[in-house]
């Protein structure tokens, strides 16, 4: 099974990119974030033409929104609200083989890394804390869960272009890294990408639109993740971050991340 996650930053602007992604990566499961479209206006026919007969869309006009597409049927499909907020940030499905896939778009957190001064940052920390509590309550040794999405935190020093310069920048502050570590411990999650790509190696999945030449400056961050529970760790076979996608026509500022498993 091959699963790909991508923050598309508006699905209707990335249709050609989606077609190219599916042709190059051939995912069995495709998870998108920031689709930025309500359910009734989602291009479901286009997705079906790409070979995904089964869809769970949790959309929202102009903002947020997540979606899961599959070539095989869902046994169960649900969405969940967080922090007493109805933003569309989490959808999850259970497949016939018992694997449960959770697709998240964690709040970005604004610009000021202080929860007392910035409600958006406080929301982000609360969101991560609620995620950790929820998964901790559901923890079982035989759970076969996959967590994917834009978690909006770059945890390692090598997940950002400059650890020193980004310590006070939202997405890499110590408090966010600690919150993500708490979430990781909630179900003993395995970082499937770093399982294959050593933590000593610099690795990014996002480059700002503000950079005139994103590739030359290479001021990236690894914000997009795929994690698996311990029961699925032996099934991991490969992981790729599709860096060239940042240079496609009409690119998202994020690139797709793909993991292959043989469960």
Successive 10-residue mean pLDDT values, the chain, 263 residues? 98 97 97 97 95 97 96 97 96 96 98 98 98 97 97 98 98 98 98 98 97 94 98 98 98 98 89
The CA-atom distances, in angstroms, between 187 and each of 212, 216, 237 are 40, 38, 21
Q: Which residues pair with 147 in a beta bridge?
A: 102, 227
User: Residue 244: what pLDDT?
Assistant: 98
Alpha-carbon distance of 148 to 177, in angstroms, equals 17
User: Residue 164: what pLDDT?
Assistant: 98
User: Residue 263: what pLDDT?
Assistant: 73
Which domains are assigned to the chain? 2-261 (3.60.10.10)
pTM of the model: 0.97
Phi-psi region of 129 (alpha: psi -120 to 50; beta: other; left: phi over 0): alpha
Q: Are 111 and 170 in contact (CB under 8 A)?
A: yes
């Amino acid at each position: 099974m091959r699963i790909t996650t991508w923050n598309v930053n508006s699905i209707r602007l990335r249709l050609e990119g989606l077609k190219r992604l599916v042709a190059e990566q051939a995912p069995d499961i495709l998870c998108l974030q920031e689709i930025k479209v309500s359910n009734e206006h989602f291009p479901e026919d286009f997705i079906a033409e790409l070979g995904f007969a089964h869809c769970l869309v949790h959309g929202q006009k102009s903002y947020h929104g997540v979606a899961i597409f599959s070539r095989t049927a869902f046994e169960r499909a649900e969405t969940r609200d967080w922090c007493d907020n109805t933003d569309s940030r989490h959808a999850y499905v259970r497949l016939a083989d018992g694997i449960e896939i959770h697709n998240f778009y964690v709040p970005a957190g604004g610009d000021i890394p202080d929860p007392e001064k910035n409600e958006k940052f406080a929301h982000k920390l609360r969101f991560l804390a609620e995620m950790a509590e929820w998964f901790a309550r559901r923890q079982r040794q035989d759970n076969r869960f996959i967590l994917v999405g834009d978690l909006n935190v770059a945890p390692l020093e090598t997940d950002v272009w400059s650890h020193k310069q980004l310590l006070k920048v939202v997405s890499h502050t110590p408090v966010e890294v600690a919150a993500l570590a708490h979430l990781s411990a909630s179900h003993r999650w395995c970082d499937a990408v770093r399982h294959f790509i050593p933590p000593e190696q610099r690795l990014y999945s996002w480059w700002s639109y503000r950079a005139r030449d994103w590739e030359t400056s290479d001021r990236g961050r690894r914000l997009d993740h795929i994690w698996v529970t311990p029961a699925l760790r032996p099934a991991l076979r490969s992981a790729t971050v599709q860096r060239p996608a940042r240079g496609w026509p009409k690119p998202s500022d994020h690139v797709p991340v793909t993991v292959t498993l043989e469960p």
